[in-house]
Amino acid sequence: MDAASALEIARSALILTLTVAGPLLFAALGTGVVIGLLQALTQIQEQTLTFVPKLIVMGLTLLLCFPMIGGALGDFMRVLSDKIVQGG
């Protein structure tokens, strides 16, 4: 394996990480902002008010994104295994 192949695999792995984690992180960020604004407007400072909605939204996002995440992981594994079989 040469340096170009290693860099290509590393780049693909980073893009895969963003593909898998990105939707969940954006859902948590959006939910946190909305709940933070709600808490600031109503002055309710309950800790479970921030945790439970984030957990629910992230769970729903994960369920909706499972096909995309599975496809991305499968494609990456297919490419990686082909490179291993070819010897680089």
Query: How many structural domains is the chain composed of?
Result: 1
The arithmetic mean of pLDDT across residues 16-40, rounded, is 93
Banded model confidence at residue 3, pLDDT cuts 50, 70, 90: confident
Q: Is the pTM of this model over 0.85?
A: no
pLDDT tens profile 6-20: 899 999 999 999 999
Domain of 21, in residue numbers: 3-86
Q: Output the pLDDT for position 47.
A: 77
Please answer whether residues 28 and 57 qualify as being in contact, where contact means their C-beta atoms are separated by less than 8 angstroms: yes
Question: pLDDT for 48-66, tens place per residue?
Answer: 788 899 999 999 999 999 9
pLDDT attached to residue 44: 83
Residue tagged 């959006």 (tokens): 30
